[in-house]
Amino acid sequence: MAEIRLENLRKAFGEFVAVRDSTLTIADGEFFVMLGPSGCGKTTTLRMIAGLELPTAGRILLGGEDVTFLRASQRDIAFVFQLFALYPHMNVRRNIGFPLSCQGVPRAEVRARVEETARLLRIDHLLDRPVSGLAGGDRQRVALGRAIVRRPKAFLMDEPLGTLDAEFRELMYHELRQLHNRTGATTVYVTHDQLEAMAMADRIAVMNHGVIEQYGTPQEIYDRPSSMYVADFIGSPPMNFLTFRSSLARGSREVRINGAAIAVPAVHEDLADADLVLGVRPEHIRLDDASPLRGRVIDSDYMGTTQIVTVATEHGEVKARIAADRRAEAGETVGLAFSTRRLSLFVAASGRAIR
Ligand code: ATP
């Protein structure tokens, strides 16, 4: 079992708190992504799991065992910093086998495990080639091979695709995901790229200033963000926010904006005369002449099968993703209708979601 559990994990550098009382459980075999902007504490969290940084407070459990004070080398976790760091003077076979040779594993076993690993990564035909002549993707696979040949309990990956161009990144993250499906090893993957996170993760933790704002499956995070911060971070273009003032009673199933009644998921609290924010994703908006919620088209970006239409409303600018064949001329007045099951509501002052 390689479940990873963080309990009230905290890291301060002097006065500055980089990770603030994080508690979460990463299930055995899960591909778990830590997502957030630069400086939010992702790397620090990963380094504490690896044993490269000592927590200021809290505990880390690996497969139920408290490893908080164990050295990195005693944790049986592979930290993949950067997939390109290979030994250029060695061939593929020796690069992959190097960690085992260092541990004094017998040669025959090193050979067998290197070959098994190479088959898993589909690079067994390259084993005797020098790494210096390999294409980028194959070099990445060799570096991955060196991490997985040890059969660690878990993998930690810190933006391993960070230096690659967009097209190649996409190829590699599909590959990493498939590799995970084949090995089933618990993986914690750090990125600031929400598309990468959504495509790869079983579950995502979204971090903000050292705090885990929300964690859940990509779909939960996308459909039911717990705060405006999370809603804004996920999705491209991001969720639209329409601010309005209203009172809501517990059990309400609609809000009224400019006389338009908009059905929302049932609200479980009373809110008297508060500034509220309706969150709606661009793909959940239709142009509908009958809707009383109206605005003026400012711009439209053609994207092939869809277009992003920007509409100025009394409650702010709204971006709608609609079919490309609907003409939307700048200056035209349009009505906006929302897919009611997919809306979010937030308290403007705190940014938290109203459930
Ligand atoms: P990035 O993607 O830029 O690495 P991150 O989310 O991984 O961002 P961390 O590297 O964990 O963020 O850093 C979180 C905060 O802690 C940053 O403000 C960083 O400056 C600070 N920090 C990290 N390591 C140290 C250190 N050794 N001493 C002081 N401050 C540190």
> What are the extents of the domains in the chain?
4-231, 242-347
From 22, 43, 208, give the residue whose CB has the most ligand 1 atoms within 8 Å, as the site to mutate.
Answer: 43
Specify the pTM: 0.88
Closest residue by CA, ligand 1 atom 11: 41
Burial (CB < 10 A; 0-12, 13-18, 19+), residue 345, is buried
What are 57-105's pLDDT values in tens digits? 999 999 999 999 999 989 989 887 665 578 888 999 999 999 899 989 9
Does this complex have an ipTM over 0.85? yes
The CATH number assigned to the domain with range 242-347 reads 2.40.50.140
- What are the angstrom distances between the C-alpha of 151 and each of 28, 63, 101, 246? 14, 15, 14, 57
CB 3 within 8 A of CB 29: no
What are 180-237's pLDDT values in tens digits? 988 889 999 999 999 999 999 999 999 999 999 999 999 999 999 999 999 999 998 9
The β-bridge relationship of strands 294-302 and 306-313 is antiparallel
Question: 4-231 sits in which CATH class?
Answer: alpha beta
Closest residue by CA, ligand 1 atom 30: 13
Closest residue by CA, ligand 1 atom 20: 39
pLDDT of residue 81: 67
